[in-house]
Structure 1
Amino acid sequence: MKSRWLLVLLIMGLIGTTVWLGLPQAPAAVRISEAGAGFKLPDLQGAMQTLPEGEVVLLNFWATWCPPCRKEIPSMVELHEKFAAQGLKVVAVSVDQNRDHLSSFVREQQMPFQVLHDADSLVSQGYGVFRYPESFLIDKQGKVRYHLLGAVDWMSEPLMKTIEGMLAEPATKAYGSVSGELENNS
């Protein structure tokens, strides 16, 4: 009888381990210099676009068929309207298959920011995206500062303060930059 229970426990342990190993893993930390290398995607008119450099960027991966993605669009539109003049760039990367359907949806939702089409999901995979929506706040130096999973209220006070702070930072390049004060020897 004891050996039977031992066998049942062993089988349950093996099944549990197999299921656990099969679950999707959260992505490793992502740096724009790694994930964004060769980042070129078509916009809704088919023109190839790259990620803006030297700007604060909200990079959002989404799809029209995703209810949480649809839920966060109004606050993302509001965020764009509030901060576009201060330099925030919103780039929404859709993984939808059909560009015509995507274009219709964007018109219906009156999305005023840049929408790119990642039909084969290669760029989203490069960023380690494993569910939608998934967003990255990227600073002026091109570094991912925040990685947000799921639908976000972009007009929440903590996010607004974070974005305001990022917009206030100087635009220096991450490579070859020197910080500190210089002496004036004149």
Structure 2
Amino acid sequence: MVPMHTLRHLFLSIWLLFIAAGITHAETGHKVGQTAPGFALNSLAGDRVTLDSLTQQGHVLLVFWATECVYCYAHIEDFNALHDQYHDKGLTVAAINIAGEYEQEVREYVTDNGLNYLVLANRLDNLDVAEDYHVVGTPTLVLISPDNRVLFYGHNLPDIGKWLKE
């Protein structure tokens, strides 16, 4: 007869192997150099915005966020500064809300917290875009080149100056 603690250890080991196998097959993020998935979403101003329309103007920094994300809130000033510094040089900062929040909630948050950059709030469509980009947390930042290539994918602010000259 096999002792109970050995069975528990065996079960735990097998369970951890299944978890590890699932993690290694999970698809998170887009790799640098890949083509960015296209999208068409509405801005809070009611305009239809596509990735192609944004990249025609230059680089795009997608910010996947939620109103309850404290890290997203903490970076509002950084995103505003990037917008102010690089918008005239072709950078569009585009925030895509991925918490399934209603447009009115997003609109109030934007007004109350002074977001100066483009905000896309299509509630459920935004979730589809987040899935296309394999977003697993907020904030997730994706920098896209004018030729629709992913230049950066991560959770920290990228060095925008590396791609855009002042």
State the TM-score, normalizing by the size of structure 1. Answer: 0.73
Code of the aligned partner of 1:70: Y
3-state SS of 1:167 partner: coil
For the pair shown, the structure with the greater C-alpha radius of gyration is 1
Q: Where in structure 2 are the equivalents of 1:31-180 lying within 5 Å?
A: 31-33=34-36, 35-36=37-38, 39-51=39-51, 52-54=54-56, 55-96=58-99, 97-120=101-124, 121-149=127-155, 152=156, 154=157, 159=159, 163-168=160-165
Q: State the Cα distance separating 1:143 from its structure 2 match.
A: 0.5
> In the alignment, is the contact (CA less than 8 A) between 1:59 and 1:91 conserved in 2?
yes
Q: For the residues of structure 2 that align with 1:8 and 1:106, how far apart are their CA atoms?
A: 51
Q: State the Cα distance separating 1:167 from its structure 2 match.
A: 2.3
Q: Deviations over 1:65-96 (max 9, x none)?
A: 11111111111111111111211111111124
Aligned to 1:7: 7
Provide structure 1 residue ranges, at least 5 long, that are not aligned to the other structure.
Answer: 169-186
Provide structure 2 residue ranges, at least 5 long, that are not aligned to the other structure.
Answer: none
Q: State the Cα distance separating 1:118 from its structure 2 match.
A: 4.0
3-state SS of 2:81 partner: helix
Q: State the Cα distance separating 1:98 from its structure 2 match.
A: 1.0
Aligned residues: 155
> In the alignment, is the contact (CA less than 8 A) between 2:103 and 2:122 conserved in 1?
no
3-state SS of 2:83 partner: helix
Q: State the Cα distance separating 1:23 from its structure 2 match.
A: 5.2
Q: Deviations over 1:40-60 (max 9, x none)?
A: 111113332112123111111
Code of the aligned partner of 1:41: L
Question: Please, what is the CA RMSD of the aligned residues?
Answer: 2.2
